[in-house]
Amino acid sequence: MADRTLDKKQVMTLYSKLATDDVFRKSFEEKPARALFDMGVPADLIVDLNAACLHPCTLASKQAFSEALRQLKDEVTECTTQMIIPSLRLDYGRQA
């Protein structure tokens, strides 16, 4: 069994909930796997996550998750704005 990971959308949802939702934070601290399942992460993915990530824990502050979410959004924005989009010259061969 290889350790799988959450995709970016799932991570962004997780960070958002950990930055804002006190009920979810408490649930995640006590039973991370259950909280992920309740968040919509498929069970087959959860069982393949690194087991160390699924132990009860004390979370960082809401502000820390808010900052991590901001950085992740900035990374996605930077990546998409650096794409080179091809353009077509529709007037090729047309005489001026």
In a domain, 85, yes or no: no
In a domain, 56, yes or no: yes
In a domain, 82, yes or no: no
How confident is the model at residue 55, as a pLDDT? 93
E strand map for 8-96: none
In a domain, 50, yes or no: yes
Average pLDDT for residues 57-82, to the nearest whole number? 81
Counted domains in the chain: 1
In a domain, 44, yes or no: yes
Helices 8-20 and 62-81 pack at an angle, to 10 degrees, of: 150
Amino acid present at 2: A
In a domain, 66, yes or no: yes
In a domain, 48, yes or no: yes
pLDDT single digits (tens) 11-55 = 999 999 999 999 999 999 999 999 999 999 999 999 999 998 899
> In terms of residue numbers, what domain contains 48?
8-70
84: pLDDT strictly greater than 80: no
Long-range CB pairs of 71-78 (<8 Å, 24+ gap) are: 72/8, 72/11, 72/12, 72/15, 73/12, 76/8
In a domain, 87, yes or no: no
